[in-house]
A and B are shown apart, each in its own frame.
Chain A
Amino acid sequence: MNAGWFAKRLLSSLFVLAAVIALNFILFRMMPGDAVSTIIDPSFSPEAKENLRAIYGLDRPLAEQFMIYVKRMLTFSFGLSFISRKPVWEELLSRLPATLALTSASMALSAAFGIWLGIKAALCRGRLAEKIVLGASAVTASFPGFFVQLVLLMLFARALPIFPLRGTLSAPPPSGTMNLFFDYVRHMALPVISLSLIGFGGWALYVRNLMVRALGEDFALMARARGLPRGRVVWHAFRTILPPIITIFLMSVPGLVSGAVITESVFSLHGVGTFLLEAVSGHDYPAAGAAFYLLALITVFCNLAADVSYGFADPRVRIEGKKE
């Protein structure tokens, strides 16, 4: 890894971003209709619709619209949402906490639990424990997310009312910071648990396969032959599988944000996922453009971060990078 390599990666990332910006504009304009044409209300005359189009800037030539759009993307001032008439950036920021809390907590939980189970399964090959892990992982990973979440909602929010049915806070919220915090945790628990439950299986299966292979490698056999403790052998084997784990971890971040659409809808959470859904279905160009642009940014950043973190996790990358 050197400066030249990094500059090349950076350049290709910028190219991807430029392509996303252009496609975001073109694809949304290619979709039939716009935010105004789907209004079917006789008290909203065609003349009033034209007024609305002018307010949204949809009456301007496409080239002009594109220039305004590019400027907004580059300056991160995404304009006003067609639906809410509020700055898109402000709306995104207001929805970010719920999405961040949901995705980061569930990702950390599912990854930690899945990796731990995967290692355990690899160490217990052929035994009942491995079969249970493999079975449970396959079942949770293969059920549709919304189905699992609805079942959990019915079980733990309705039949056994342990968790709330909706949102992130009670109405009205309790007074006091600690009470507020616990209320928030109680509301977020079920969405986080459900998303973790859906996600851990994939991790467990993936890590189990990697670990089985790593533990069968010559270096692991050698370590065992030398009489190293089991924990040390497992640690050495685990280090060799860290790069693909990091890649998968970072690459799943953008997917989690877009995957939050379903979880946020099921648990009525006010997050970026539902914002994305409303923006696309309502032809809200500024909101949809900004949301997809930010998703692309996250994806590109995570890609870059995965490449860079390889160097830290795997000494071979560092050494080969220096040789280059």
Chain B
Amino acid sequence: MSISQKFFCALLLLALSISPAAALTDKKIDISKLRGPKISELSMLIISNPDAQIMAAEAGELDIIGDIARPSDIDRLAKNKNLQMSIARGFHAFFLLLNNKKSPWDDAALRRAAAMSIDRSGIVRMIFSGYCEPINSWLPPVSPWAPAGGAQDIYDPQAARALLKKRGYSWNMAGRLVAPDGKEMPAMKLLTPLARVSPTTAELAQTIADSLSSAGFPVETEPMDFSTMINRLDRKDYSMAVLAWSMGRNPDSLYSFYHSSMDFDGGYNMTGTCDARLDRSLEALRGAPDEASARKAAREAQRALLELMPSIPIYSRFSVTAVSKKWKNIFTTESSTADNMWTLLAAEPRGGVGRPLTMLLPEEPRNLNPFTASSAYSWQALGVIYESLLTTDPYTLENMDAIASSWKVAVAGSGRARHTELTFKIKRGLRWNDGSPLTARDIKATVDFLRRNKIPRFFDAVKNIKRIETPDDHTLRVVMEDVSYWYLDNVAGLPAMPAKVVNAVRDWQNWDPLAGGGEAGPAGLIGSGPFMLKGYRAGEYLLFERNPHYRLLEGAVK
């Protein structure tokens, strides 16, 4: 049985164990034929108290509650007969960071021995009640770019001991490691956020410290404020630390975290990794001209990481969502729980009684200006209004058509003038939610606006664009300054806005689209997504109605 088959079986068992009705949509749906939204209204209810969120789901006030993290909450909701659970692999990954510039972690063998001394399966079982998976890769196993053995638990204390012995280490009477020069290994601090802020992370850090201590590494946790911890990581004033982050589906992030050029105060290379071979493969990955070379470089980079072990991957959390049984056609895949865009398109109330679908919004979005909004909560709302050129296939996590019907990545020029050219064919007959036509010129205007104003959130996605051309209303050609396959994702992921809006925005920082127009810019959020904002009451709710011009509506553009 392959690892992915093993994982699928484990996931299925877990899903069945949390609820007999957990299997929501087990048959594969042809998403190219999906039409919707079937619902005419969508409501996002703002509930910031995690306990009240669970109670609201139990009481039927919420139809969908996503990203349930606490195992006790998952178990509680799974017992509710009015709810069905969906579980999927997530993009979250948790790491033990090691300062590769400081002894003893400047020795790769020691890092590998430490990695083999941590019982990840035990952590998954004891702390997370099985709602996550152990990992041994620097990309979450759900990523199509992750290696095949990414979800393996490499816990092997005997092998770790053998490796340490081979390196000349021994153990004193107290079981503490003694270096080849006869010196006892000094005590090391493991930085962790405060228990009252992140109780699970603090508990996890303690478990890791205990695992390492039993292998001979004298490790103690040092809880501290999160900002203080990040500040120390930025300055590399640490020995060990625990940190989790949500990653994208692509491996390009590896460059930021492990390339030597990113090793400076405040740079993302917080482990201080500096290895010529790894650098070369990461450069090849970043500058890959096409998918095939990108895959090859990604494999090489991850192989190098496995040998170097600059940080220790620990686990990746599953995404868990609870959905009211009053709804049918809830869409889930192995990598996507029910709270996704496809569910919003396909969901229909059981019994055919039309009513709004109510989703949880865990925090007040505070900012609905698409240029300055940075929180996940703002984009949970903006994400149903705006669309991009391409979207992600929920089954394969590969690119699929959205505003663009087709796309091409090509390398043009030679020598130093060699560069990537992206060509997108825009679907015909598309309209913005105000009924005006959507053309390639709108996309050009959006991207030009983002480039001209160096808007921080989109800066990295557009900074390498040399020029944009629109040979006709349905063709967009983006000429980049150099070569990289990832430019496709950067450009294709930008939110599309009408030219008449971006051209009318005079002060993007102070623009408040909900304020009814003003000197800074025009009123309203005009996008091409499946919904449009109907009402918003700060701190209370957001109400959306179906975009009557949405491309996937029955009878709309095919």
Interface string of A165-186 (1 = CB under 8 A from B): 1111101110000000000000
Bound-complex Cα distance A31 to B369 (A) = 29
Interface string of B358-384 (1 = CB under 8 A from A): 100000101101001011000000000
Can you show 12 pairs from A to B with CB atoms below 8 A apart?
A: A37-B227, A37-B230, A42-B255, A42-B257, A44-B456, A49-B456, A83-B367, A94-B538, A153-B49, A165-B52, A171-B540, A171-B543
Q: Within 8 Å of chain A (Cβ to Cβ): is B389? A: no
Q: Within 8 Å of chain B (Cβ to Cβ): is A269? A: yes
Q: Within 8 Å of chain A (Cβ to Cβ): is B509? A: yes
Chain A residues with Cβ below 8 Å from B454 are 51
**CB-based contact A265/B48 at 8 Å:** yes
**CB-based contact B59/A158 at 8 Å:** yes
Bound-complex Cα distance A264 to B27 (A) = 44
Give the residue of B56, B256, B364, B509 whose beta carbon is less than 8 angstroms from that of A45.
B256
**CB-based contact B539/A157 at 8 Å:** no
Residue of B nearest to A266 (CB): B49
A169-B61 CB under 8 A given contacts A45-B460, A84-B367, A86-B512: no
Chain B residues with Cβ below 8 Å from A283 are 227
Q: Within 8 Å of chain B (Cβ to Cβ): is A194? A: no
Chain B residues with Cβ below 8 Å from A85 are 367, 369, 372, 509-510
Bound-complex Cα distance A181 to B197 (A) = 37
**CB-based contact B537/A173 at 8 Å:** yes
Chain A residues with Cβ below 8 Å from B253 are 42-43
Q: Which of B52, B358, B369 has the most CB of A within 10 A?
A: B52
Q: Within 8 Å of chain A (Cβ to Cβ): is B432? A: no
Q: Within 8 Å of chain A (Cβ to Cβ): is B94? A: no
Residue of B nearest to A270 (CB): B539
Interface string of A252-276 (1 = CB under 8 A from B): 0000000000000111111100100
**CB-based contact A270/B228 at 8 Å:** no
**CB-based contact A166/B52 at 8 Å:** yes
State the main secondary structure of chain A at its contact with B: loop
Q: Within 8 Å of chain B (Cβ to Cβ): is A48? A: yes
Q: Within 8 Å of chain A (Cβ to Cβ): is B45? A: yes
**CB-based contact B510/A44 at 8 Å:** no
**CB-based contact A38/B226 at 8 Å:** yes
**CB-based contact A33/B52 at 8 Å:** no
A interface with B by C-beta (< 8 Å):
31-33, 37-38, 40-49, 51-52, 55, 80-81, 83-86, 94-95, 98, 150, 153-154, 157-158, 161, 165-169, 171-173, 265-271, 274, 278, 283
**CB-based contact B256/A169 at 8 Å:** no
Bound-complex Cα distance A42 to B367 (A) = 22
**CB-based contact A169/B540 at 8 Å:** yes
Q: Give the number of residues in B that approach A within 8 Å (Cβ atoms).
A: 60
Chain B residues with Cβ below 8 Å from A166 are 45-47, 49, 52, 56
Bound-complex Cα distance A168 to B364 (A) = 14
**CB-based contact B267/A167 at 8 Å:** no
Give 5 closest A-B pairs by Cβ, nearest first.
A270-B539, A171-B541, A32-B231, A42-B256, A42-B253
Residue of A nearest to B368 (CB): A84
Chain A residues with Cβ below 8 Å from B456 are 44, 48-49, 51-52, 55
Pair count A-B, CB < 8 A:
152
Bound-complex Cα distance A94 to B539 (A) = 10
Chain A residues with Cβ below 8 Å from B49 are 153, 166, 265-268
**CB-based contact A46/B55 at 8 Å:** no
Chain B residues with Cβ below 8 Å from A271 are 539
Chain A residues with Cβ below 8 Å from B374 are 83
**CB-based contact B52/A153 at 8 Å:** yes
Chain B residues with Cβ below 8 Å from A266 are 49, 52
Q: Which of B529-543 contact A (CB under 8 A)?
A: 535, 537-541, 543
Bound-complex Cα distance A45 to B268 (A) = 8
**CB-based contact A270/B266 at 8 Å:** no
Q: Within 8 Å of chain A (Cβ to Cβ): is B43? A: yes
Residue of A nearest to B56 (CB): A165
Q: Which of B246-280 contact A (CB under 8 A)?
A: 247-248, 252-253, 255-257, 262, 264, 266-268
**CB-based contact B543/A42 at 8 Å:** no
A40-B245 CB under 8 A given contacts A83-B367, A154-B55, A165-B55: yes
Shortest Cβ distance from A190 into chain B, in angstroms? 11
**CB-based contact A48/B540 at 8 Å:** no
Chain B residues with Cβ below 8 Å from A278 are 366
Chain B residues with Cβ below 8 Å from A83 are 366-367, 374-375
A274-B51 CB under 8 A given contacts A33-B230, A84-B367: no
Q: Within 8 Å of chain A (Cβ to Cβ): is B11? A: no
Bound-complex Cα distance A110 to B412 (A) = 75
Chain B residues with Cβ below 8 Å from A169 are 537, 540
Chain B residues with Cβ below 8 Å from A42 are 247-248, 252-253, 255-257, 268
A268-B52 CB under 8 A given contacts A33-B231, A49-B266, A171-B541: yes
Interface string of B410-443 (1 = CB under 8 A from A): 0000000000000000000000000000000000
Residue of B nearest to A39 (CB): B374
Q: Within 8 Å of chain A (Cβ to Cβ): is B234? A: yes
Q: Within 8 Å of chain A (Cβ to Cβ): is B323? A: no
Shortest Cβ distance from B98 into chain A, in angstroms? 17
Q: Which of B48, B367, B461, B512 has the most CB of A within 10 A?
A: B48
Shortest Cβ distance from A6 into chain B, in angstroms? 40
Bound-complex Cα distance A37 to B512 (A) = 26
**CB-based contact B248/A165 at 8 Å:** no
A84-B55 CB under 8 A given contacts A42-B253, A268-B49: no
Chain B residues with Cβ below 8 Å from A80 are 509-510
Q: Within 8 Å of chain A (Cβ to Cβ): is B153? A: no
Residue of B nearest to A98 (CB): B539
A37-B51 CB under 8 A given contacts A42-B252, A42-B256, A270-B539: no
Q: Within 8 Å of chain A (Cβ to Cβ): is B400? A: no
Bound-complex Cα distance A40 to B253 (A) = 11
Q: Within 8 Å of chain A (Cβ to Cβ): is B243? A: yes
Q: Which of A161, A166, A267 has the most CB of B within 10 A?
A: A166
**CB-based contact A172/B256 at 8 Å:** no
Chain A residues with Cβ below 8 Å from B51 are 150, 153-154
**CB-based contact A270/B375 at 8 Å:** no
